[in-house]
């Protein structure tokens, strides 16, 4: 029998499948079900800084008293934080798999201090979901990146649990960014975040939301960088995310060098009963190829271990497709 256990963020997972932060992980009962179906770990639904600010704003409508505004903002935030800490405590009591908390933040502020409360509540690790859209022409890319460094540095000062950073794809030098996150204390990175994207309804001429769920073809966005980063920055743990819809997708990411793989869209589309199906697919593949453990093939096809590493590079596009007309 193949051994699917893996180590991610210093945590031992029974298998590399992590259910990513979503509505699937926002209640203890749901988390219990995921654990029973074989999830290696769960990332709790993110506590969104923007959402708390919006809720406070709705409560403040019509109020013109500064004292009331301060009270409402603090009350809304404290209430959200307490509920989240309770979810962590309840989940840890209910399941025996790692429970990873998640904060979606757009400012450093006092969210840094909250990371210590998360650790005290019993979370096994913390995933920082950091993103803001760089829209100002007077701010350099380096300045935007410094925000990421500032958050991870301050969080690592406040908490003793492992911390990973879930990031987007679009950075000028992704390898340097991730190396700098590692230097500042990040134990891992999640490649990549899937953000809200706008679309346009041409008939009604209004802005709408693009497709929320990923497709299996989206795996190309992360596979290249998992293969490169796992070679260039060996000591940081990588969790691959977006576009993993079956056992083959998980195997690809591990061959590229991922320690773990986050799944979400496929569970919404086809149901959480897909978890044991994916696990069985991995086991069957390992048996066919005579691998007894994940570590025997992890990174086997990353940037370092293939004869021609340039196949991971974008410049190869013209070489392979120049004959198409």
- The tens place of each residue's pLDDT in the chain, 325 residues long, gives 789 999 999 999 999 999 999 999 999 999 999 999 999 999 999 886 544 444 434 433 444 434 434 433 443 445 568 889 999 999 999 999 999 999 886 655 656 778 888 999 999 999 998 877 778 889 888 888 998 999 899 889 888 999 999 998 888 899 999 999 999 999 999 999 877 778 898 999 999 887 778 888 889 889 999 999 999 999 999 999 989 999 999 999 999 999 999 999 999 999 999 999 999 999 999 999 999 999 999 999 998 877 777 676 655 555 555 555 5
d(CA 298, CA 255): 5
| CATH hierarchy code of domain 6-321 | 3.20.20.70
Q: Delimit the domains of the chain by residue range.
A: 6-321
Pairing of strands 198-201, 206-209: antiparallel
- Which of these, 213, 149, 135, lies nearest to 179 by C-alpha position? 149
Alpha-carbon radius of gyration of the chain: 21
For residue 146, count other CB atoms closer than 10 A to its CB: 12
d(CA 135, CA 266): 32
pTM of the model: 0.86
């Amino acid at each position: 029998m193949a051994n699917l256990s893996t180590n991610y963020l210093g945590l031992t997972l029974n298998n590399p499948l992590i259910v990513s932060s979503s509505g699937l992980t926002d209640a203890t009962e749901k988390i219990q079900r995921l654990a029973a179906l074989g999830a290696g770990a769960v990332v709790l639904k993110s506590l969104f800084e923007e959402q708390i600010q919006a809720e406070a704003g709705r409560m403040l409508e019509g109020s013109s008293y500064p004292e009331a505004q301060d009270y409402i903002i603090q009350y809304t935030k404290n209430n959200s934080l307490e509920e989240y800490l309770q979810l962590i405590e309840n989940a840890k009591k209910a399941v025996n798999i790692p429970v990873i908390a998640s904060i979606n933040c757009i400012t450093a502020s006092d969210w840094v201090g909250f990371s210590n409360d998360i650790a005290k509540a019993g979370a096994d690790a913390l995933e920082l979901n950091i993103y803001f859209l760089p829209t100002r022409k007077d701010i350099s890319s380096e300045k935007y990146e410094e925000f990421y460094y500032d958050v991870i540095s301050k969080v690592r000062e406040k908490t003793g649990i492992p911390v990973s950073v879930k990031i987007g794809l679009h950075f000028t030098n992704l390898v340097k960014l991730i190396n700098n996150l590692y230097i500042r204390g990040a134990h891992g990175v999640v490649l990549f975040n899937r953000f809200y994207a706008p679309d346009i309804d041409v008939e009604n001429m209004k802005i709408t939301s693009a497709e929320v769920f990923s497709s299996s073809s989206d795996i190309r966005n992360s596979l290249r960088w998992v293969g490169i980063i796992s070679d260039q920055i060996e000591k940081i743990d990588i969790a691959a995310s977006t576009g993993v819809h079956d056992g083959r997708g998980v195997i690809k990411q591990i061959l590229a060098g991922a320690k773990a793989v986050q799944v979400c869209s496929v569970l919404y589309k086809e149901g959480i009963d897909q978890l044991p199906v994916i696990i069985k697919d991995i086991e069957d593949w390992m048996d066919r190829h005579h691998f007894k453990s994940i570590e025997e093939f992890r990174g086997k096809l990353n940037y370092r271990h293939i004869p021609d590493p340039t196949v991971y590079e974008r410049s190869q596009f013209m070489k392979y497709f120049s004959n198409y007309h």
